[in-house]
Amino acid sequence: MTDNATTASLHERIEQLKKSLNAIILAHNYQRPEVQDIADITGDSLELSRAAARTDHDVIVFCGVHFMAESASILSPDKTVLLPEIDAGCPMADMVTVEGPRKTRRDFYAKTHGISFTYPDEFTLRDMKNKYPGVPIVAYVNTSAAVKAESDICCTSSNVVKVVESLKEDTIICIPDRNLSSFATRRTSKKIIAWDGFCNTHQRVSAEDVKAAKERHPYARVVVHPECPLDVQDMADHITSTSGMLRYCKESKHNEFIIGTEEGLLHRLKAENPDKAFFILSDAMVCPNMKRTKLESVVRAMEGTEHVIKVPEETRIPAKRALDRMLEIT
Ligand code: SF4
């Protein structure tokens, strides 16, 4: 546990390093509170990538997971992008690959979530494209740069329906999140072929968790992320992205909210709405990868200029095309 004096000295060191490196610190909404507190900008992955693209700093310290730092590198190739914890990955992003077997931990998920996969681990995005020739691929931003490069257009949890509707084809492949695909399927007349991935953190909540939370907080509105399973979405008052949750809770006339996303968002929700009460839907809603980054990791990364995330040009250019295409329509 970091005590107050240590935290203060880490803050001071980070401020010095920011000046000497001409660095900006970006932190995802799911980061630890103390990491969010030292960030220049806190937001969702798209907001942070956009901030990375706009900044005139030389160094971007990305407190998040690997695919997010890659997106910053795709949009800001001239900057040095640092990911403080190199092992901060995303299990959902790992569930789709362009070539080579994907990481699905299927025995673990069968046991803990009672969930199975449609495709074998050897099944790649290229196999999907061969199976459905000519069907466009919509890639959630929670994918690797290599996967984005093989896709037609990217989407986020807030614009997925708009992106799907923007395509002229009637059938669309959505990767990698099965729950986000189901969310979109209900809101479009297009046929969506879903990949079979999911977010381990959002998949682990259940309708029973919603029922129990509502019993504990009968006056609270239930707000959940579209990465949650469909039966959880069905019980919610509102389904939206993290930036949508921040907006919704601020504008709502209600005073209590049960939040169905990674618990890090509560830090910002509470700070921005001191008169309102927020309760996490389930204590299991913690992403271990998002929690890897600590203040010490940030100092180490800045002192040693590590770990530099650089997407090679042959991947960056097609991946940027997919991101740009999304940005043009949203
Ligand atoms: S919360 Fe889910 S989608 Fe986000 S980084 Fe963690 S595993 Fe990936």
In a shared domain, residues 63 and 25: yes
In a shared domain, residues 189 and 209: no
| CA-nearest residue, atom 2 of ligand 1 | 199
Q: Which residues pair with 279 in a beta bridge?
A: 258
Counting atoms of ligand 1 from 1, which one is nearest the CA of 200? 7
**pTM of the predicted model, to two decimals?**
0.96
Question: Which of the listed residues 31, 67, 71, 200 should we mutate to test ligand 1's pocket, taking the one with most ligand atoms within 8 A of CB?
Answer: 200
In a shared domain, residues 104 and 188: yes
> Is the residue at 321 inside a domain?
no
> Is the residue at 58 inside a domain?
yes
Counting atoms of ligand 1 from 1, which one is nearest the CA of 199? 2
Question: Which of the listed residues 96, 202, 224 should we mutate to test ligand 1's pocket, taking the one with most ligand atoms within 8 A of CB?
Answer: 202
Query: Position of tokens 């923007």?
Result: 166
What pLDDT sits at residue 2?
54
In a shared domain, residues 80 and 156: no
In a shared domain, residues 107 and 178: yes
The letter for the amino acid at 190 is K
Counting atoms of ligand 1 from 1, which one is nearest the CA of 89? 5
Each of the 330 residues of the chain gets a pLDDT tens digit; together they read 557 888 889 999 999 999 999 999 999 999 999 999 999 999 998 899 889 889 999 999 999 999 999 999 999 999 999 999 999 999 999 999 999 999 999 999 999 888 999 999 999 999 999 999 999 999 999 999 999 999 999 999 999 999 999 999 999 999 999 999 999 999 999 999 999 999 999 999 999 999 999 999 999 999 999 999 999 999 999 999 999 999 999 999 999 999 999 999 999 999 999 999 999 999 999 999 999 999 999 999 999 999 999 999 999 999 999 999 999 987
Using the 3D structure, point to which of 174, 199, 224 is the last residue of a domain: 199
In a shared domain, residues 174 and 224: no
In a shared domain, residues 208 and 181: no
In a shared domain, residues 33 and 76: yes
Could you list the residue range(s) of the whole structural domain that residue 68 is in? 4-86+290-310
Q: Compute the distance from residue 92 Cα to the ligand 1 centre, in Å.
A: 6
16-55: b (≥16 Cβ within 10 Å) or e: ebbeebebbbbbbbbbbeebbebbeebbbbbbbbbbbbeb
> Is the residue at 330 inside a domain?
no
Using the 3D structure, point to which of 180, 199, 218 is the last residue of a domain: 199
In 3D space, the residue among 126, 132, 142 whose CA is nearest the CA of residue 181 turns out to be: 142
In a shared domain, residues 161 and 250: no
- Retrieve residue 43's tokens: 């937001």
Q: Compute the distance from residue 314 Cα to the ligand 1 centre, in Å.
A: 26
> Is the residue at 326 inside a domain?
no
> Is the residue at 207 inside a domain?
yes
> Is the residue at 324 inside a domain?
no
Helix 313-329 to helix 66-75 angle, to the nearest 10 degrees?
A: 90
| CA-nearest residue, atom 1 of ligand 1 | 287
Number of domains the chain is built from: 3
> Is the residue at 189 inside a domain?
yes
> Is the residue at 116 inside a domain?
yes
Q: Compute the distance from residue 5 Cα to the ligand 1 centre, in Å.
A: 31
Using the 3D structure, point to which of 181, 199, 217 is the last residue of a domain: 199
Pocket of ligand 1 (CB under 6 A): 30, 65, 90-92, 142, 199-201, 262, 287, 289-290
| CATH assignment of the domain containing 173 | 3.40.50.10800
In a shared domain, residues 167 and 216: no
In a shared domain, residues 299 and 227: no
Question: Which of the listed residues 95, 142, 180, 225 should we mutate to test ligand 1's pocket, taking the one with most ligand atoms within 8 A of CB?
Answer: 142
| CA-nearest residue, atom 6 of ligand 1 | 287
Sign for the CA dihedral angle at 287, 289, 292, 297 comes to: negative
What pLDDT sits at residue 46?
81
Q: Compute the distance from residue 288 Cα to the ligand 1 centre, in Å.
A: 9
In a shared domain, residues 24 and 70: yes
Counting atoms of ligand 1 from 1, which one is nearest the CA of 90? 8
